[in-house]
Amino acid sequence: MNYIKWELKGFFSNHKNLIIFALLLIASLYYALYIAPAYQPIESVNKEEVEARYEDRKEFLDNVEVRNGSHPLTIFAALVYPKWNELDGERLTALANGDLYSYAQATHEWYLYADENIKTDPYDVLRYNPRYYTYGNKHAKEDGHYNYLYSAERYSQYASANYELNLNIFEERTALQTLKRLLESGLPYILLLTCLLLSNDIVMKDRKHPSIVNGFPMTPFKRMMLKGLVALIGCLTSIAILLPAFLIIGFRDGFGTLDLPAVVYNFAFLNNGTYESISMGMFLSKYVVMLLLWFVLIISLVLLISILLKNEYFNLTIGIICFIEITYYQRRKILDDWLSYLPTSYVQIGDVISGYRNYALFTDSITTEKGFMVLFSTSILIILLIWLVIKKKKMTI
Amino acid sequence: MGEKPVNKRKNKVLSLLSSILSSILRGINVFRLMKTIFLVERKNLKFRSILSVLILFIIGSFIYLENSQFRELEAATAAEVIAKNTALDLFRNTDATDPEVSTPIYRNLNVQSNQLAYRSLGLIMDDDTTYIQGAIELTKVRHEIYSMDGYNNVSQFIPTYRQNQLDHVLYTAIDDQNERLLVENSNFPTYIILLLLVLGVGWYLLVGIFSSDILLDEEDHKSLVNGYPFTMASKLSAKVFSYLVYMIGLLIITFVITVIVASIKYGIDLTYPVAIFNGDYFTIAIWEYLGLAFLYFICLSLTALTISIILNYYFKNLYIAIFVHFFLFFVPQLIPALGEWFWFLPFNYLNFSSVINGQVAEITGNQMVTLNNGFIVLVITIVIMFLFIYWQFYRSQIKQSKMVTIGGGNV
């Protein structure tokens, strides 16, 4: 027990670790104060946009006369617009009445109807929200399709929700939803690299005062495991450091509840999969489990490389495993199944859990359960290797 | 103790003279020290870890190019058509030939449609000339849109002015030099562009991380280094020299391996034009691009080394050095306004890729951030930093020798 205390003290008074904690804190506060408020979702609640579309189409529908010789596009429009406009009308009245539940219901139906028509549009004239088609986006149509059905599923959950609704929830601005959005984009990289930097020197620092370290009466393997435990506690602290930023967003835009939907995509061929919701609490707990497995994996790798090569720089090269994935996972590429057995395929934890990886890569091989299995067995393998190396080398540090 | 000031000065001058004399006399031994440090450092695992990172990177870059759509024309052209169509959707359908009812920007977008159609046609019919002519005309038409009213409404659907200019000079050069069109990306020029794009971003950081403990790792083999009777300054220069030799060695290895492997895999082509920004937009051949990158990387290495030395000298912590390197590198992204006024400061030039394609000039809004200025600024920075370091160590050396004199010991 003394040893753990001693290690913890060393860990939290280490200059490097304190700098990392300070940097994380500053970056997260900066994000909460400046970047998060500027977030503009593509699928926003935009009354003007709905109104403009509604009025335009209403005028057309009021004046159109479909005859035998009418232009095919006119016939198509006269066929598609009435229902569409009806839904837009419902959305507008719900917004005007402040009835968010019926707005959610109408919006749910609107997204389903819009996606179906855009997807099967024989003339290629209908489009998803123009903000998907920015210059250089080669996957605009896929993005639009995913986000429309994602929003449809989301709004169907809101319609039957037993919690208070507001516009921040609709636009995914509450603290929990912001966290989820970050967890699905850049945050996993930051967390994993932080873990690496924090645990980087946990073994190597002992070389500076070997006599103290060897004074503790325990086997080297046990000492390694305790070191790993301390590093794990340190990494969890780095998550706790993000808490002030979370509170700031929460008090400004609302926290949201753990019942909020997190949409999961179930893969089917040709991206015709279904969308279903799990609760935010479920999403976060799956996330935490996978993140913990990743931490264990990285820390045990650091331990293994430390005792094998005895050099801090080699530990830093572990950071590469976060980026190996980009070399083989590219959109619009047929993938081999075996790639999903590599732990590196699960770096984007959020996208793995939400199924977006499968959608973007046209594959059904990357699942959460497989991720747990792969990461868990890799960690066990590495810990076994540590045990073997220590036994073989009869090493002291 | 209790000497007169004149004597003190005399002593100082004498000790200085003798140290200079001895360093000249034993100058040959400095090389021996360099050799020792070099031999010691060569065994340093740090060097091997950097080498393994680079080798992994080279392997990764080939796998990446195989899988990605990096610079593939088919997907890019299709995306451009969709983006332009979406921009057109923002306008009411009117008669584009009638200036009375249609705005200039709407007419311009319609002309773009025609040229884009030529590009698609060229791809479908496998006809390079049609594609290239369409591309050149398209960039000319687009050139006018940037000064039109209402450009901001459609800006996200068309390339920026910089990208358009780069396209323009590239396709003009391809046309002039009768080069082939690179439709797929598995070819030599595209690989080199990808390689230098990633290396250009990463090189400064790589050298920065690698040299972050340049003065701190002495402790690993103290007796060996201190065994040589040299001043701190000459030890330092030996060290910088050995680091530099190693970095240039790594650069040469990387360049040679990639060029050889790529030319075996794709067939060598050193004259294909690459569009760059250097105050003006023009193209250079691939071999010139490689050469420029090589020289620039050497400047970047030296800059990183000197910054590391100073940080090590004052903070004595390798992680502080690493963090400061990262901070300096990201300053143009974090505070673009700084680059607008302080274009002559080195942090604008640490990212080779975004300097040479004009991205830094674009985000800082200052056209002075060019490759030429980059070379000048970096070289001046290196000279100033070395003078500063020399002055620092020279001073500490005098202090040290004075202490030795006062203590009455032998050096």
Question: Which residues make Cβ contacts (< 8 Å) with residue B48, sequence separation at least 6?
Answer: none
Examine the domain organization and report whether B305 and B393 are in the same domain: yes
Q: What is the mean pLDDT of residues A49-71?
A: 89
Quote the pLDDT of residue B28.
Answer: 63
DSSP symbol at A29:
H
Contact flag B45-A311 (C-beta cutoff 8 Å): yes
Examine the domain organization and report whether B163 and B299 are in the same domain: no
Examine the domain organization and report whether B245 and B356 are in the same domain: yes
| Average pLDDT for chain A | 91
Contact flag A134-B157 (C-beta cutoff 8 Å): yes
Q: Which of A152, A171, A190 is the last residue of a domain?
A: A171
Distance from CA of B28 to the nearest CA of A (A): 33
In angstroms, rounded to a whole number, what is the distance separating the alpha carbons of residues B200 and B198? Answer: 5
| Nearest residue in B to A138, CA atom | B79
Examine the domain organization and report whether A30 and A151 are in the same domain: no
Q: Which of B111, B145, B176 is the last residue of a domain?
A: B176
Examine the domain organization and report whether B297 and B377 are in the same domain: yes
Distance from CA of A328 to the nearest CA of B (A): 6
Q: What is the mean pLDDT of residues B231-257?
A: 84
CB-side neighbour CA atoms (13 Å) of A10: 20
Mutate to test the interface with B, among A14, A35, A138 (most CBs of B within 10 A): A138
Q: What are phi and psi of A265, to 5 degrees?
A: -100, 125
Q: What is the mean pLDDT of residues B358-364?
A: 92
Q: Does the pLDDT value for residue B2 go beyond 70?
A: no
- Beta carbons of A227 and A14 less than 8 angstroms apart: no
- Beta carbons of A349 and A291 less than 8 angstroms apart: yes
Model confidence pLDDT, tens digit, residues B71-123: 899 889 989 998 988 888 888 777 777 777 788 888 899 999 999 999 999 99
The dihedral of CA A56, A62, A64, A67: what is its sign?
A: positive
Helices H / strands E in chain B, number of each: 17, 2
Contact flag B75-A16 (C-beta cutoff 8 Å): no
Burial class (CB in 10 A: 0-12, 13-18, 19+), A126: middle
Q: What confidence tier does B316 reach under pLDDT thresholds 50, 70, 90? A: confident
Q: Give Rg (Cα) of chain A.
A: 26
Q: What is the mean pLDDT of residues B32-59?
A: 79
Q: Does the pLDDT value for residue B229 go beyond 80?
A: no
Q: Does the pLDDT value for residue B210 go beyond 90?
A: no
Burial track B39-65 (b if 16+ CB lie within 10 A, e otherwise): eebeebebbebbeebbeebbebbbebb
| Nearest residue in B to A331, CA atom | B68
Examine the domain organization and report whether B110 and B93 are in the same domain: yes
Q: What is the mean pLDDT of residues B131-143?
A: 94
In angstroms, rounded to a whole number, what is the distance separating the alpha carbons of residues A295 and A300? Answer: 8
Examine the domain organization and report whether A59 and A130 are in the same domain: yes
Examine the domain organization and report whether B35 and B148 are in the same domain: no
DSSP conformation letters of A217-241:
-S-HHHHHHHHHHHHHHHHHHHHHT
Contact flag B209-A23 (C-beta cutoff 8 Å): no
Q: What is the ipTM of this complex?
A: 0.87
Q: What is the mean pLDDT of residues A349-366?
A: 91
Model confidence pLDDT, tens digit, residues A323-345: 998 888 888 777 788 999 999 99
Q: Does the pLDDT value for residue B391 go beyond 90?
A: no
Examine the domain organization and report whether B367 and B258 are in the same domain: yes
In angstroms, rounded to a whole number, what is the distance separating the alpha carbons of residues B374 and B40? Answer: 34
Examine the domain organization and report whether A219 and A337 are in the same domain: yes
Cβ atoms within 10 Å, residue B383: 12
Q: Does the pLDDT value for residue A397 go beyond 60?
A: no
CA nearest neighbour of A174 among A289, A102, A261? A261
List the beta strands (DSSP E) in A210-360: 261-266, 274-279
Q: What confidence tier does B41 reach under pLDDT thresholds 50, 70, 90? A: low
Examine the domain organization and report whether A232 and A115 are in the same domain: no
Distance from CA of B120 to the nearest CA of A (A): 15
Examine the domain organization and report whether A82 and A149 are in the same domain: yes
User: How many residues in total does chain B contain?
Assistant: 411
CA nearest neighbour of B244 among B297, B186, B312, B289? B297
In angstroms, rounded to a whole number, what is the distance separating the alpha carbons of residues B88 and B84? Answer: 6
Examine the domain organization and report whether B13 and B83 are in the same domain: no
Q: What confidence tier does B172 reach under pLDDT thresholds 50, 70, 90? A: very high
Quote the pLDDT of residue B27.
Answer: 59
Burial track B218-245 (b if 16+ CB lie within 10 A, e otherwise): eeebeeebeebebbebbbbbbbbebbbe
The pair of three-digit structure tokens given for residue A134, joined into one six-digit string: 């920015």
Q: Give Rg (Cα) of chain B.
A: 28
CA nearest neighbour of B274 among B400, B369, B381, B188? B188
Strand partners, A274: A266
| Nearest residue in A to B318, CA atom | A16
Examine the domain organization and report whether B149 and B212 are in the same domain: no
In angstroms, rounded to a whole number, what is the distance separating the alpha carbons of residues B244 and B242? Answer: 5
Question: Which residues make Cβ contacts (< 8 Å) with residue A360, sequence separation at least 6?
Answer: A139, A142, A331, A351
Examine the domain organization and report whether B345 and B222 are in the same domain: yes
Examine the domain organization and report whether A226 and A190 are in the same domain: yes
In angstroms, rounded to a whole number, what is the distance separating the alpha carbons of residues B340 and B365? Answer: 6
Examine the domain organization and report whether A386 and A282 are in the same domain: yes
Domain count, chain A: 2
Domain of residue A298: give its range: 2-39+176-393
Burial track B70-85 (b if 16+ CB lie within 10 A, e otherwise): ebbbeeebebbbbbbb
Examine the domain organization and report whether B168 and B194 are in the same domain: no
Model confidence pLDDT, tens digit, residues A9-52: 999 998 899 999 999 999 999 999 999 999 999 999 988 889 98
Quote the pLDDT of residue B409.
Answer: 43
DSSP conformation letters of B177-243:
TTPPP--SS-SHHHHHHHHHHHHHHHHHHHHHHHTTTTTTGGGGGHHHHHTS---HHHHHHHHHHHH
CB-side neighbour CA atoms (13 Å) of B55: 6
Quote the pLDDT of residue A180.
Answer: 95
Domain of residue B343: give its range: 5-68+185-407
- Beta carbons of A95 and A119 less than 8 angstroms apart: no
The pair of three-digit structure tokens given for residue A133, joined into one six-digit string: 């088609």
DSSP symbol at B349:
G
- Beta carbons of B272 and B179 less than 8 angstroms apart: yes
CA nearest neighbour of A236 among A313, A294, A171, A166? A294
Contact flag A16-B90 (C-beta cutoff 8 Å): no
Most confident listed range (A242-256, B213-227, B383-397):
A242-256
Interface membership of B71 toward A (CB under 8 Å): no
Q: What confidence tier does B43 reach under pLDDT thresholds 50, 70, 90? A: low
Examine the domain organization and report whether A228 and A118 are in the same domain: no
Q: Does the pLDDT value for residue B405 go beyond 80?
A: no
Model confidence pLDDT, tens digit, residues B3-27: 555 666 677 777 777 766 666 655 5
Q: Which of B176, B210, B229 is the last residue of a domain?
A: B176
Contact flag A137-B159 (C-beta cutoff 8 Å): no
Identity at A389, one-letter amino acid code: V
3-class DSSP assignment, residue A376: helix
Examine the domain organization and report whether A227 and A366 are in the same domain: yes
Which residue reads 């985000």 in tokens? Answer: B363
Question: Which residues make Cβ contacts (< 8 Å) with residue B148, sequence separation at least 6?
Answer: B104, B105, B108
Quote the pLDDT of residue B215.
Answer: 81
CB-side neighbour CA atoms (13 Å) of A37: 10
Contact flag A327-B317 (C-beta cutoff 8 Å): no
Among B residues 199-258, those touching chain A with beta carbons less than 8 Å apart:
209-210
Nearest to A327 among B64, B85, B158 (CB): B64
Quote the pLDDT of residue B222.
Answer: 61
Angle between helices B188-210 and B232-266 (to 10 degrees): 160
Mutate to test the interface with A, among B43, B49, B217 (most CBs of A within 10 A): B49
Examine the domain organization and report whether A189 and A304 are in the same domain: yes
